[in-house]
Amino acid sequence: MRAVAALAVAVGLIVAAILTRDALDDDGDSAGGTSAGSRTALVCAAELADACAELEDDVNVRVEAASVTAERLTTAADADEAAVDVWLAPAPWADLVVDARERAGAPDLVGEPSALIGRSPVVLVVWNDRAAALEAGVCGGPVEWRCLGDAADRPWDTVGGESAWGRVNVGLTDPDAATGLVVLGGAASGYFGNADYAANDLDGEFSGWLGALGAQADSATTDVVNEMLTRGPGRFSAVGALEAEALDAADRDDVRVIYPAPVATADLVAIPIGGAEGAAGDIAGNDDLRQALSESGWRVDGEPLAAGVDGGLDLPTDDSLPEGGVLGALLARWNEVTG
């Protein structure tokens, strides 16, 4: 009899725990699970780990490189196999996976991304003297992606600088990283002058330009801005990164933060997997997440701008990036030329 009573108490406790969990999940400030009693599995791109930590009370957070998530979502048969409900990453990654699955004839898995959570434009950080030399030399005006790539990997004295500076070494955030793909797309948009290019345009001349731009790229460097600022111009003459990754540079008077045209942006969204639109919407609207992103340099509607974010810059309405398939082809070309 005592055993039966104990069992009843145990069942009651379990039911109570489930009900409590559901109540918490239904709270407006939490990210709800995709099924009753389960916690949402959120995968965060590695660069967003700190902001995602704010959600750990409400969802199961896993942090990993965007390319790893993309691989899983490209090859998974369904959401269960992917073990992801929501993916927090810049929007082009969703396009990339959708395109790859379509081409593979795989069924739909990736849903419509949430409303925009935050944005961060692509910037160039250039040492002041190097920027001046480029402007007076090969660029013949403001430093833009095209002329920077033209100068890249050349001796400085051939492009307007001093021979003592060595070569024009350009660093880029690793394109396999969530934000790096956006930087790469922004660089290519800079080369073509707009985002209206296709894989057909990635010809030999472009490959040569891209190869030079990536000649000093190093996937082992996870923070190119920090690497540049701590090691000096001998390491990188200029780097391409997101504004949110370059806040430290804005404070310094020996480097310049440039917003090359067209201004490409990383548009951060919550990407639902396997029908988890509700959970994605909850995450996108999570105040803690939005605040954390804002504090880390992302431009989030309704949140103050962090120090170092240029409040005078109006971002374009679109992200100035090509569609996902083109970004996929661009990434493949990048890996090819940087070998």
Partner 1 sequence: MRQGMRRAWPRWVAALLAGLIAAACSGGDDGDGDGEAALADPGDCVTVDVASSPEKLELLGDLADSFNDSDAARLANDDCAFVRVQNKSSGAAEQLLANGWDDSVEGPRPVIWSPAASTWGQVLNQHLSEEGQPAMAPTDAASFMLTPLVIAMPRPMAEALGWPDTPLGWTDVLALARDGAGWGSRGHPEWGAFKLGKTNPNFSTSGLSALIAQAYAATGKTTGLSLEDLANPAVASFASGVESAVVHYGDTTLTFLNNWYRADQRGNPYQYVSAVAVEEKSVIDYNSGNPDGILDQGEEPREPRVPLVAIYPEEGTVYSDNPLMVLDAEWVDAQQREAAAAFVDYVQTPENQERVLEYGFRPGIDDVPVAAPISEANGVNPATPQTLLDVPRPEVLAGLLDDWATQRRSARVQIVVDVSGSMGDPGDPETGATKLDLAKEAAIAALEEFKDDDQVGLSIFSTELGDQGDQEVLELVPTSRVGDVREQLANRIRDLVPTNNTPLYAVTQRTYEEALAAFDPARINAVVLLSDGRNQDDDSADDRDQLTELIDTLEAGGEGQASRPVRVFPIAYGDDADLPTLRQIAEATSAAVYDSSDPTSIDKVFTAVVSNF
| CB nearer partner 1, residue 116 or residue 199 | 199
Tell which one of 54, 135, 218, 248 touches partner 1 (CB under 8 A): 218
CB of 127 to partner 1, least distance (A): 20
Amino acid at 176: D
Instruction: Residue 308: name the closest of 239, 225, 254, 244 by CA.
Output: 244
Q: What is the DSSP letter of 195?
A: S
Q: According to the binding rule CB under 8 A, does residue 153 interact with partner 1? A: yes
Amino acid at 38: S
Q: Going by C-beta distance under 8 Å and a sequence separation of 6 or more, which residues neighbour residue 153?
A: 167, 168, 169, 170, 212, 213, 215, 216
Q: Tokens 């992302």 map to which residue?
A: 298
Q: 334 with 175: CB under 8 angstroms? A: yes
Tell which one of 128, 194, 219, 230 touches partner 1 (CB under 8 A): 219
Distance (Å, whole) CA 302 – CA 117:
11
Q: According to the binding rule CB under 8 A, does residue 204 interact with partner 1? A: yes
Query: Which positions from 283 through 312 interact with partner 1, judged by CB under 8 A?
Result: none
User: Would you say how long the chain is, in residues?
Assistant: 339
CB atoms within 10 A of CB 22: 15
Candidate ranges 9-17, 24-32, 70-78, 303-311; the one touching partner 1 (CB under 8 A) = 70-78
Tell which one of 25, 99, 144, 243 touches partner 1 (CB under 8 A): 99
Q: Going by C-beta distance under 8 Å and a sequence separation of 6 or more, which residues neighbour residue 306?
A: 244, 247, 294, 295, 296, 297
Residues that bind partner 1 (rule: CB under 8 A) add up to a total of 46
What value does the CA radius of gyration of the chain take, rounded to a whole number of Å?
Answer: 23
Q: According to the binding rule CB under 8 A, does residue 327 interact with partner 1? A: yes
Tell which one of 132, 154, 248, 261 touches partner 1 (CB under 8 A): 154
Q: According to the binding rule CB under 8 A, does residue 194 interact with partner 1? A: no
CA dihedral 94, 92, 88, 108 (to 10 degrees): -10
CB of 71 to partner 1, least distance (A): 3
CB of 115 to partner 1, least distance (A): 26
Candidate ranges 27-35, 56-64, 204-212, 225-233; the one touching partner 1 (CB under 8 A) = 204-212
Structure tokens that stand for 285 in this block = 């609207």
Q: According to the binding rule CB under 8 A, does residue 91 interact with partner 1? A: no
Roughly how many angstroms between the first and final C-alpha of the chain, as a whole number?
72
| CB nearer partner 1, residue 48 or residue 212 | 212
Query: Which positions from 162 through 191 interact with partner 1, judged by CB under 8 A?
Result: 167, 176
Measured CA angle at 323 (ends 320, 326), to 5 deg? 110
CB of 208 to partner 1, least distance (A): 6
Q: According to the binding rule CB under 8 A, does residue 98 interact with partner 1? A: no
Q: According to the binding rule CB under 8 A, does residue 223 interact with partner 1? A: no
Q: Residue numbers of the site for partner 1 (CB under 8 A)?
A: 67-68, 70-72, 74-75, 99-100, 103-104, 153-155, 158, 167, 176, 198-200, 203-205, 207-208, 211-212, 215, 218-219, 322-323, 325-333, 335-339
